[in-house]
Amino acid sequence: MTRQDQEMLDEYDFSRGIRGKYAQRYRQGTNLVKLDEDLRKYFPDDKAVNDALRSLVTILHQHVKITLSRP
């Protein structure tokens, strides 16, 4: 018995499953990121993560402009 077989329980019913239903979407790529446990309380959903990253990008752009304008 393989490891994969050991993880499959008899209760799983794939009789109405559609083979390859998400194959095309998967081939196009995914952009999933797993947050560490200590960050999950600050970023409970994708909106919180995206908002924080947009803020960071804005700060970085401002920093680059300031750095480049210095003599």
Q: What is the pLDDT of residues 13-23, one digit of tens each?
A: 888 999 999 88
pLDDT at 35: 93
Give the residue numbers spanning the domain of 55.
Answer: 3-69
pLDDT at 4: 54
Number of separate domains in the chain: 1
User: Model's pTM, two decimal places?
Assistant: 0.53
Confidence of residue 5 (pLDDT cuts 50, 70, 90): low
Q: What proportion of the chain, given as a percentage, has pLDDT over 90?
A: 39
* Rounded Cα–Cα distance for residues 39 and 47 (Å): 14
